[in-house]
Amino acid sequence: MEEDDGGGQRAVAGGGSAASGLAAGHRGITLTSKEAFTCTKSNNWRLLHIGDIDRTSKCGRLGVNGKLHRISTMKGNNIFRVALLSYIVLTIGGKELKSTNSGENTGLIFTNQQVNKTIQMEPSSSPIRLDIKSPLVAAVSHAKLSTIDCPIGTVPILRNNKVDTTMVQRINTLASNDLQQLVAGIKYWDEIYGSRASINVYEPKVKENSKDLSASWIQIGSVPEVGDGVGIGAGSCVYPSFSGDSFARFHISWDNEELKKNCIDHNCPGFVQVSHSVGLGGRIHPISVYNGPQYVINVLIFKDPKTKNWWLAYGSNNTPIGYWPSSQFLSMKDKCNFAFWGGYVQGLTTSSDPPQIGSGHFASEGFGKAAFIRNIQAIEDENNKLVTPNTRSTHPRADNPKLYTYDDYGLNDDARRHSRPSP
């Protein structure tokens, strides 16, 4: 069993047909699902934007979505040139398919041609965090993200079975007239440059063909007093109309201000992936069991103090997955003013026929029965240090306490902040 990598705040959300919570965890197991991943290849590094992939392509058949762009190296440093806007897709079948650690099949996507955008291979520095052992270290383990051994210079792209064009709406911003959203967790209103938390992973029940989703989530963003806000987030999500199944998957989302829509994983431009092993949208495994073993994933989002890019990392070692370039944001170039840790549901009938959150049990049932988010930390100034969030800026809430709840919001036994929603 690995050591817990820190304390922090804890948030637990639960509710009648739903519940969510947060914990810390460690070792995972080999996955057995059958999904299709594609290794995205460039001449020197990795493609920045993949979207609208021709998912029906077979061996030798091209799915053309734009021009070919070459990625070229700038000698002497870790900056690379990359195509942002157009690309070509080639999927390979038969014996050339690769498998992820979850047994998923892969093909290849190629790009080439000279362009003049830059890619940052790794953060200039990582946030400094306080490592305080948690009292729950013996009770939780780390779940694993889906990974694949892609060649250097490529990234895994999930070829899922079903894609819903309805985008995930962001927390605390305006949703469409059709979609409803309910949250239970902690909202943070103050200057913030990053956040880290341990997300308890369950597979809540979500109706198929409903456009509903359920997520245990970490998000930061910029929300004005009037009008739409923008944000970036990541976590565990069950979204059948997007993925084609009801598994817990690791998704990211962000607001594309130019396209004026919210994006998921690689379905529109905006996220630069640098990891050649982690597959966005892949299954998280193992998952927690009600009144049984508990598993978490650690997620970190932070601003690079030098480049101003917003980085996403995971695991106890803060392994980088990629980043959102600061140049694509207007209101998030320097800092954010909002964060969220907890669970949320979204869909056409969320209020009348709500999906579950987390374990599907109220937060008042406590650890091992209600899902939780714990070890919540924030970067509150430009010193790049993760600290316990200021209590004056944190506001636990549940939009509909009859359905989703929070409980036990406060400090862990190790003096780190936590929260657990309740009815």
Indicate if 300 and 390 belong to the same structural domain.
Answer: yes
Average pLDDT rounded to a whole number, residues 87-92: 24
pLDDT above 50 for 74? no
Phi, psi of 242 (to 5 degrees): -95, -45
Judging by beta carbons within 10 Å of its beta carbon (0-12, 13-18, 19+), is residue 103 exposed, middle or buried? middle
Indicate if 380 and 292 belong to the same structural domain.
Answer: yes
Indicate if 81 and 160 belong to the same structural domain.
Answer: no
Average pLDDT rounded to a whole number, residues 1-18: 48
pLDDT above 70 for 110? no
Q: What's the pLDDT score for residue 20?
A: 34
Indicate if 318 and 367 belong to the same structural domain.
Answer: yes
Q: Could you tell me the pLDDT band of residue 4, with boundaries at 50, 70 and 90? A: very low
Confirm whether 73 is domain-assigned: yes
Judging by beta carbons within 10 Å of its beta carbon (0-12, 13-18, 19+), is residue 363 exposed, middle or buried? buried
Domain count, the chain: 2
d(CA 259, CA 270): 10
Q: Could you tell me the pLDDT band of residue 151, with boundaries at 50, 70 and 90? A: confident
Indicate if 41 and 167 belong to the same structural domain.
Answer: no
Amino acid letter for position 170 = R
Decide if 16 contacts 357 (C-beta within 8 A): no
Amino acid letter for position 195 = S
Q: Could you tell me the pLDDT band of residue 53, with boundaries at 50, 70 and 90? A: very low
pLDDT above 50 for 234? yes
Confirm whether 91 is domain-assigned: yes
d(CA 57, CA 132): 50
d(CA 121, CA 311): 11
Indicate if 211 and 273 belong to the same structural domain.
Answer: yes
Which 3 state secondary structure label does DSSP give 364?
A: helix
d(CA 351, CA 390): 32
Beta strands at 140-142 and 394-398: parallel, antiparallel or unpaired: unpaired
Higher per-residue confidence, 157 vs 237:
237
Amino acid letter for position 351 = S
Q: What's the pLDDT score for residue 137?
A: 56
Indicate if 214 and 254 belong to the same structural domain.
Answer: yes
Confirm whether 138 is domain-assigned: no
Indicate if 21 and 52 belong to the same structural domain.
Answer: no
Residue whose C-alpha is closest to residue 371's, from 197, 148, 111: 197
| Alpha helix stretches (DSSP H) within 140-194 | none
pLDDT above 50 for 59? no
Q: Which domain holds residue 94?
A: 36-125
Phi, psi of 410 (to 5 degrees): 165, -155
CB-based contacts of 283: which residues, under 8 Å, 6+ apart?
31, 33, 35, 102, 146, 247, 248, 249, 250
Helix (H) or strand (E) holding 241, with range, is helix 240-243
Q: List Cβ<8 Å contacts ≥24 apart for 126-129.
A: 126/302, 126/313, 126/318, 127/194, 127/196, 127/300, 127/302, 127/318, 127/379, 127/384, 127/385, 127/386, 128/384, 128/385, 128/386, 129/5, 129/6, 129/196, 129/377, 129/385, 129/386
Helix (H) or strand (E) holding 242, with range, is helix 240-243
Confirm whether 135 is domain-assigned: no
Q: Could you tell me the pLDDT band of residue 102, with boundaries at 50, 70 and 90? A: low
Indicate if 85 and 228 belong to the same structural domain.
Answer: no
Per residue in 239-261, pLDDT (tens digit) is: 998 899 999 999 999 987 777 78
Q: Which of 89-98, 201-210, 300-309 shows the lowest per-residue confidence on average (mean pLDDT)?
A: 89-98
Confirm whether 326 is domain-assigned: yes
Q: What's the pLDDT score for residue 35?
A: 66
Indicate if 292 and 362 belong to the same structural domain.
Answer: yes
Judging by beta carbons within 10 Å of its beta carbon (0-12, 13-18, 19+), is residue 51 exposed, middle or buried? middle
Q: Could you tell me the pLDDT band of residue 290, with boundaries at 50, 70 and 90? A: very high
Average pLDDT of the chain, as a whole number: 72
Q: What's the pLDDT score for residue 252?
A: 97
Beta strands at 62-64 and 88-90: parallel, antiparallel or unpaired: antiparallel
Indicate if 261 and 384 belong to the same structural domain.
Answer: yes
d(CA 292, CA 290): 5
pLDDT above 70 for 163? no
**Backbone dihedral region of 347: left (phi > 0), alpha (psi from -120 to 50 degrees) or beta?**
left
Q: Which of 90-94, 225-229, 300-304, 315-319 shows the lowest per-residue confidence on average (mean pLDDT)?
A: 90-94
Go through 152-184 and write b for each residue having 16 or more CB atoms within 10 A of its CB, e for each that does not: ebbbbbbbbeebbebbbbbbbbeeeeebbbbbb
Residue whose C-alpha is closest to residue 167's, from 219, 229, 211, 204: 211
Per residue in 358-396, pLDDT (tens digit) is: 999 999 999 999 999 999 999 999 889 999 999 899 999
Which 3 state secondary structure label does DSSP give 226?
A: coil
Indicate if 83 and 212 belong to the same structural domain.
Answer: no
d(CA 122, CA 120): 6
**In percent, how much of the chain has pLDDT > 90?**
43
CB-based contacts of 80: which residues, under 8 Å, 6+ apart?
44, 45, 71, 72, 73, 74, 118, 119, 121
Per residue in 190-231, pLDDT (tens digit) is: 999 999 999 999 999 998 878 899 999 999 999 987 777 899
